[in-house]
Structure 1
């Protein structure tokens, strides 16, 4: 299995139903775009829809931090990257970026995902075959720089005095 570093989605286009009354991509649909890329990365790791259906195991998002950098509009075409920046036997920490096909950054997302046994549902360790694929992706992504925007927190910066 060859793992791209980072994983990059196919080109996606901003759809008409995703545009809000301000004339740009509604905030919720940035998550849809990020999620479609994540689905591709999870498919590569063997954790796609078939995994949930056949093995009754899946991935849930536990935490997400999204930064809007530049507006997207109807018809804009984008690609999304997925970089695995940390993991253990039950969790994945990933960083993603939406780039317009012209190259500029539109948004970033950092997620903490949990591996779930759907019979609970409860957090569960990855099966050996999946853990091996996660480890392989981590090794492939280990040479990538830690994204500058990873690990951000929300706060209001105050001037002293």
Structure 2
């Protein structure tokens, strides 16, 4: 039985995101990944109403980004989110960013992989108390229902020179 997958998060590279090298600046890859995390939060019940009612939110406390390909202005991006696990007050996620073909009906090129990836560790935080707190059961169940196997690139570290 396969697990449900989150829908792709879609975004377009804006002119103000392009740097002096003519491609999307590194900060904006992370911004797009952040938007994808926000979408995950909304889909699992941690939306604006939840944050207002509970005073809790999810904070990224660690990340590892890999920039794999330059991205020009106007490029259409799709981000696939995976929940690798959630327990107590912690969640582990990945996002993979892909280029969307100009022709949406076109198949991606064979072997076309992600253009950027990020692995995240997030905590459920009580903002009033200023500390991490366990996810409510309903949110934890939604996150757990989305759990997928980790892609092969997860857990890599920066190599020494």
**TM-based fold match above 0.5:** yes
1:86-144 C-alpha deviation (Å, 9 max, x unpaired): 22111011111000003442100000000001112100001122122122222xx3xxx
1:151 aligned to 152, 155, 158, which one? Answer: 155
Match of 2:62 in 1: 63
Q: Does residue 1:87 correspond to 2:86, yes or no?
A: yes
Instruction: Please give the secondary structure, in 2, of the residue aligned with 1:147.
Output: coil
Q: Paired residue for 1:19?
A: 18
Give the alignment partner of residue 126 of structure 1, picking from 118, 126, 135.
135
List runs of 5+ in structure 1 lacking aligned partners.
none
Q: Residue 78 of structure 1 corresponds to which residue in structure 2?
A: 77
1:136 counterpart residue number: 145
Matched residues in 2 for 1:90 and 1:41: separation? 16
TM-score between both structures, scaled by the size of structure 2: 0.86
Aligned positions, number: 149
Normalising by structure 1, report the TM-score. 0.86
1:115 lines up with 2:141 in the alignment: no
Aligned partner of 2:28 in structure 1 is 29
- CA deviation profile, 1:42-94 (whole Å, cap 9, x unmatched): 11100122221121110000000000000111000010011011221110111
- The two structures, once aligned, show a CA RMSD in angstroms of 1.5
Structure 1 consecutive aligned stretches of length 4 or more whose deviation exceeds 6 Å: none
